[in-house]
Amino acid sequence: MFEATDQTRRKQRQEKAIQYLLTAMTTIIVLPLLLIIFYLLYKAAPILSLEFLFENPIHGMRAGGIWAPLLGTIYLVLISLLIATPVGIFAAIYLNEYSRESWMTRVINLAVVNLAGVPSIVHALFGLGAFVLFAGIGRSILAASLTLAIMTLPVIIASTKESLAAVPHSFREACWNVGATRWQTIRHVVLPNSISGILTGVILQVSRAAGETAPVMFTGAVFFKAIQTGDPFAYGLLDQCMALSMHLFTISTQVPDVPEALTYGTAVVLLGVVLLFNALAIFLRVKLRGKKKW
């Protein structure tokens, strides 16, 4: 009774082997991330300081800090967030809660999925044509933010739709049965129970936008621009700005004799901005999931 046969032993060996394989694969994912972070920090160590964050680049960008590009990236991210969030969330609510299955909605859904796969350089060209030239906004923070917003919208819509669809249908029916309107149902039951997933999706997209180079390079970011240090309102909506991603590209490929630490320092800050947004997403998720009640 309960003796291990040869077949059982073979299964056990197989089980172990699979476990090791899966563990190894997972480690392989984490390892590069840790290596990148530590390598960057190690290379950038000599220059990292508060002054580095709050000073403009000087001497043809061979010294100084990164205040102008840092502030520019923050502007671009926040404004594109401001534009993409309401549009994306309301579009997703329409698609998931109101629209009926028809060839129109099928085309829209297909378009959303396909738009998500459009390369960022194509979005950049579109932004240049549509916002900078056609709409006449000119190369500016506004045009660049609009371009980033368009680029992130499809994924925001897709992830929001998924979060909405995860709310059980029986909740909606229970609300309709007691005479609640569609909007009351969405406002009081569907949204409170999906908001953590929705916001996570939105923020992760925006952190992606922070790292994009091509779209902002075409539509509003400049090689160099000195701004008032320490003033968070140094850029206007229609000004051109510097951006971290483009600054990194510039000093590592376009300008000769830039100290290595400066390049790595810029990379660390860019990574820091992205990770900060991701951390915010995780924080919001945990915080809001506590309110989810089923």
Beta bridge partners of 46: none
Give yes or no for residue 173 binding another protein (CB under 8 A). yes
Residues 201-220 that bind another protein (CB under 8 A): none
Q: Among 47, 112, 175, 234, which residue interacts with another protein (rule: CB under 8 A)?
A: 175
Q: Is the CB of residue 199 less than 8 Å from the CB of residue 119? A: no
Give yes or no for residue 103 binding another protein (CB under 8 A). no
Give yes or no for residue 292 binding another protein (CB under 8 A). yes
Pull the structure tokens for residue 37.
Answer: 């972070």
Burial of 159 (0-12, 13-18, 19+ CB in 10 A): buried
Q: Among 54, 94, 171, 249, which residue interacts with another protein (rule: CB under 8 A)?
A: 171
Residues in the chain: 294
Give yes or no for residue 100 binding another protein (CB under 8 A). yes
CB atoms near residue 57 (< 10 Å): 25
Give yes or no for residue 176 binding another protein (CB under 8 A). yes
Rounded Cα–Cα distance for residues 145 and 268 (Å): 23
Rounded Cα–Cα distance for residues 73 and 152 (Å): 15
Beta strands in the chain (DSSP E): 57-58, 63-64
Q: Tell me which stretch binds another protein (CB under 8 A): 6-14, 68-76, 245-253, 286-294.
A: 286-294
Give yes or no for residue 188 binding another protein (CB under 8 A). yes
Q: Is the CB of residue 56 less than 8 Å from the CB of residue 227? A: yes
Alpha helices, H only, 166-259: 169-177, 182-185, 195-211, 214-219, 244-249
CB of 106 to another protein, least distance (A): 13
Give yes or no for residue 231 binding another protein (CB under 8 A). no
Give yes or no for residue 59 binding another protein (CB under 8 A). no
CB of 164 to another protein, least distance (A): 14
CB of 280 to another protein, least distance (A): 25
- Based on CB atoms, which residue is closest to another protein, 105 or 229? 105
Torsion of CA 37, 41, 44, 50, to 10 degrees: 110
CB of 111 to another protein, least distance (A): 21
CB of 281 to another protein, least distance (A): 22
List residues binding another protein (CB under 8 A): 100-101, 170-181, 184, 188-189, 192-193, 292-294
